[in-house]
Every structure is written in C-alpha cells, then in structure tokens.
Structure 1
C-alpha cells in the first residue's frame, strides 16, 4: 500500500474528503515527528510505541579501504508493536487469495 492508497482507504472509512484526510494524516505525522525529535516517545493503543534511542559511536571495518572507521553516534527511531498487533499479524495466512 502506498501513500495515496492509504489516503483513499482512510477517506472511505471516515467519510471525509481525500483533501481533509491527507491534511489530517499530514498533521498527525508532523506531531509524531515533533515528539520523537524532542526525545519523547509516542504510544498508540492497538498499534505500538515509537521511541528514539541513541546508537553509540562504534568502530567498523571497511573492506574497500582495508581500514577501520569510526561511525559517529546517531539517534534512531524504534518501534515496538502492541501485543494485539503482533498476534494478529502472527496468525495471518501466507496463502495468496
């Protein structure tokens, strides 16, 4: 599913226009991004929790240059799915209907 398909499905389910739905989704993503960039986690019931963590500086080997390099620390987003979502996805059929 791509972004436009998501907008279309949400629009159909909520009864709102595609333009309103796109603005609402854009605002939700903006709020989520703001919270994560400030270091605050976001928990969405029945979906999961988004949190940030810092990957520490590490030393890695680069075979192209035959040398070790230092990778600087960086902040990344982690997602932990809710247990209900895990169970729902776990038991889905893998057969194509």
Structure 2
C-alpha cells in the first residue's frame, strides 16, 4: 500500500485494511517507524494530519515482498494447497 500511495494518511491505511483495530494499526506503524521502514510526518493542524511514507530502507524491501506475493499467488493455486479462499482459514480470522 505504501509502495503505491506515497505519502498516505492513517485513515486511508485503516480503510484499506479491513478489520484491523486502531490499536493494532497504530502499534504496527510505530514498529515500522522505529525500525526505519516508515517515516511519520505530523502536521500541526486541526484536525490532526499525519502522513506515512516509505524510507529508502522500506523501499528496498518492496521488490522482495512482491516476489513473495507472486510466489504465493502461483503456488496457492495448486491442488491441495490452502489459500485465501479456504473455508478453514477464514474461520481462523
């Protein structure tokens, strides 16, 4: 998401990650910021405005994550392989 929309606001991230709690999203973004993957920019405005962008470190991992996604899309289509459409996996959510 950050690789495509850069910068992106918290509310946009929240909308796109259906089902994530505010606590989980805030903590995840804080962790990504502390490891230098994401940069957080806060504007002193009312209402508050915060934007997130990928750092150069964050951008460097995008091709690797794309390869994982491509691998998963290819291999999850094989027979007898659990995938996102699996009824059992949906129960785990």
Q: Which protein is bigger by CA-based radius of gyration?
A: 1
- Normalised by the length of structure 1, the TM-score is 0.32
Greater helix share, structure number: 2
Greater RCO, 1 or 2 (C-alpha within 8 Å, sep 6+): 2
- Normalised by the length of structure 2, the TM-score is 0.33
